Structure 1
Amino acid sequence: MLPKNKRMMSAEFVSKHLFLFACPICHSSMKVFELKSLVCSNQHTFDFAKQGYINLTTGQIKTKYSKELFEARRTLMTESTFFKPVVETIAKLINKEGIQVKKELSIIDMGCGEGSHLASICDLVSAKGNKKVVGVGIDLAKEGVVVAAKNYSENKLWAVADLARTPFINKQFDVILNILSPSNYAEFNRLLKEDGLVIKVIPQTDYLKELRDYFFLETEKQTYSNEETVERFQDSFRFVDSSRLRYRVHLNGPLIWPLVQMTPLTWGITDKQAASFLEKESIEVTIDLEIMIGRK
């Protein structure tokens, strides 16, 4: 018997969870065909990629997010404690908010990027809560989904998909994660099970302040306000709780370039500015985030 490749593993995972899926074009039911494609009853066909993800968009979409950005982000997440307190806090919140009584949990990360957040949270929830966790990560940026599929395949499905028109049936997910990513609350409400949780993470005023202060002193990018985002969240869900998580991370020289690469905040800087910043031997970086919890 030939060893299973990532395409086959992804197709097998989807075949066990077909109840989640609806065709993104006509919304009809879907089935897996020969471990190669996901096909709806009207013959709309979506192929599994060799890297282990599936593209469920309905047209060609380009984003400004590059492979280099997502690789840099994964480097920071795996080689430092950059986001460790955040994923640990989210996993604890999921287990705390009454979800622990379920034996199987479905979690979708809307705007999953390179997948490290969802992978870590699913593993922590599973280990601490003694339950099976099914993780689904979607993002419009194919480059991020490719990185996710290459590195985190067990009990995970990775898909290129539009957050505003997701390829899933109503009320299928216990938890929706939305971490430093745009939102579509109408779609979140459609996908969420009754009494399910939405966990949204947004920047607070000091998030990456060292980058803002260095590159954007006395410009509008030096400051940040999320008041409007908070109000929209509270208007869209039954508000459960909100907590601020603020800490500092020490990064040595080799991790400074991934820091610069991984955030859209630095898209406008010049090569000269970047080179000057990279002369630092190390840096302390502030992580300052608001974690909001809502229920349907």
Structure 2
Amino acid sequence: MLQENKRIKSAKYVSNFETIFACPICNSSMKVIEFKSLICSNHHTFDFAKQGYMNLTTHSVNTKYDKALFEARRKLIIEGAFYKPLSHAIAKIINEHVVKTKEIISILDAGCGEGSHLTNICDIVRSDFFKDVVGVGIDISKEGIKVASKHYSNKIWAVADLANTSFKNKQFDVILNILSPSNYDEFNRLLKPDGLVIKIVPQSSYLKELREHLFHKPEKQNYSNLETVERFNESFQFVESSRLSYTMNLNKPSLECLVQMTPLTWSTTEEQVTSFFIRIQLKSLLIWIY
């Protein structure tokens, strides 16, 4: 009964914003029917899962990102406050460039994972800047969206393909792209004319201590995202960029969550991981705003 109520509650919330959706199969308009399904005018049907999310993909996708990874990431973000300075920096940028001219702000987190970044940022915008926010999180990983819908209500959570999102043109005031892949053609299609794309790009010192401990080759220890930044700059009109750098000391539980959530450890041995020291330094996390 509790699971059914969660499905219905989510469907009722989504019904308030059903006009933003476009069918991923035929691109027609969609409506929430009987608080059970999102159905387009050509009768393509996408049911709400018992956890409250929707699967809007048209084909199955397998990823290495499992439930344990997303639960570890959520714990590190929420309980460990690992990205707290980043969330506040993003919320401040939204306030400076978007909030002042809007009563209600629509935010899409493209590649939202388990939804903690989006939730934190929406909460800060509401509490610090007193604005209503509609938060929409999409990710190709069903496990990530399951965790998001389990822990965070009053958001729209959907499994979706970043190259074929299920939304109409020009629907979002803000698109977040936090340490995740991008599709700039789709971002341009979805962004309102006065909208803002915020992309978070890690610099070479991001998780430096972890990289240096796990890898011996210089190209693994140090890397450059210059090409990523250049591609991004080609797609959007430049507004502002800023650099955020901070250091955190992690206790053992938080360190275990960090190791579990990062793909950096996928190609390493258990011995390498368990021997890693407890102090992690997070440095030079570059925020690019366009």
TM-score range (shorter-chain normalised) is: over 0.9
Query: What is the alpha-carbon distance in structure 1 between the residues aligned to residue 265 and residue 241 of structure 2?
Result: 28
Matches within 5 A, 1:117-128: 117-128=117-128
Match of 2:34 in 1: 34
Contact 1:100 1:129 in 2 (8 A): no
SS in 2 for 1:247: coil
Match of 1:48 in 2: 48
Structure 1 stretch displaced more, 98-107 or 205-214? 98-107
Matches within 5 A, 1:16-95: 16-95=16-95
Match of 2:287 in 1: 291
SS in 2 for 1:86: helix
Contact 1:247 1:288 in 2 (8 A): yes
TM-superposed CA distance for 1:285, in Å, is: 2.5
TM-superposed CA distance for 1:4, in Å, is: 7.1
Match of 2:270 in 1: 271
Contact 2:53 2:145 in 1 (8 A): yes
Q: Does 2:251 correspond to 1:240? A: no
Residues 46, 231 of structure 1: CA spacing in aligned structure 2 closer, same or farther, 3 A cutoff? same
Contact 2:201 2:286 in 1 (8 A): yes
- Alpha carbon RMSD of aligned pairs, Å? 1.4
CA deviations over 1:224-262 (Å, ceiling 9, x no partner): 101111111111001011111111111011211111111
TM-superposed CA distance for 1:220, in Å, is: 2.1
Query: What is the alpha-carbon distance in structure 2 between the residues aligned to residue 217 and residue 243 of structure 1?
Result: 31
Query: What is the alpha-carbon distance in structure 2 between the residues aligned to residue 74 and residue 288 of structure 1?
Result: 22
Contact 2:74 2:116 in 1 (8 A): yes
Contact 2:106 2:173 in 1 (8 A): yes
More strand by share: 1
TM-superposed CA distance for 1:287, in Å, is: 3.8
TM-superposed CA distance for 1:3, in Å, is: 10
1:72 counterpart letter in structure 2: A
2:140 counterpart letter in structure 1: L
Matches within 5 A, 1:130-149: 130-149=130-149
Unaligned runs of 5+ in 1: none
Structure 1 stretch displaced more, 267-276 or 56-65? 267-276
Match of 2:116 in 1: 116
Structure 1 stretch displaced more, 93-102 or 233-242? 93-102
CA deviations over 1:20-43 (Å, ceiling 9, x no partner): 000000001111111111111111
Query: What is the alpha-carbon distance in structure 1 between the residues aligned to residue 110 and residue 50 of structure 2?
Result: 23
SS in 1 for 2:246: strand
Query: What is the alpha-carbon distance in structure 1 between the residues aligned to residue 258 and residue 180 of structure 2?
Result: 18
Equivalent pairs: percent with the same residue? 62
Match of 1:254 in 2: 253
TM-superposed CA distance for 1:44, in Å, is: 0.7
Query: What is the alpha-carbon distance in structure 1 between the residues aligned to residue 9 and residue 84 of structure 2?
Result: 28
Residues 110, 98 of structure 1: CA spacing in aligned structure 2 closer, same or farther, 3 A cutoff? closer
Residues 273, 30 of structure 1: CA spacing in aligned structure 2 closer, same or farther, 3 A cutoff? same
Query: What is the alpha-carbon distance in structure 1 between the residues aligned to residue 46 and residue 280 of structure 2?
Result: 45
1:234 counterpart letter in structure 2: N
Query: What is the alpha-carbon distance in structure 2 between the residues aligned to residue 37 and residue 198 of structure 1?
Result: 30
TM-superposed CA distance for 1:275, in Å, is: 2.3
Query: What is the alpha-carbon distance in structure 1 between the residues aligned to residue 284 and residue 45 of structure 2?
Result: 43
Q: Does 2:250 correspond to 1:231? A: no
The structure 1 segments of at least 4 consecutive aligned residues displaced by more than 4 Å after TM superposition are none
Task: Figure out how many residues of one structure are paired with residues of the other and give that number.
Answer: 289
Query: What is the alpha-carbon distance in structure 1 between the residues aligned to residue 270 and residue 128 of structure 2?
Result: 45
TM-score using structure 2 length: 0.96
Match of 1:203 in 2: 202
Unaligned runs of 5+ in 2: none
Match of 1:179 in 2: 178
TM-score using structure 1 length: 0.95
2:9 counterpart letter in structure 1: M
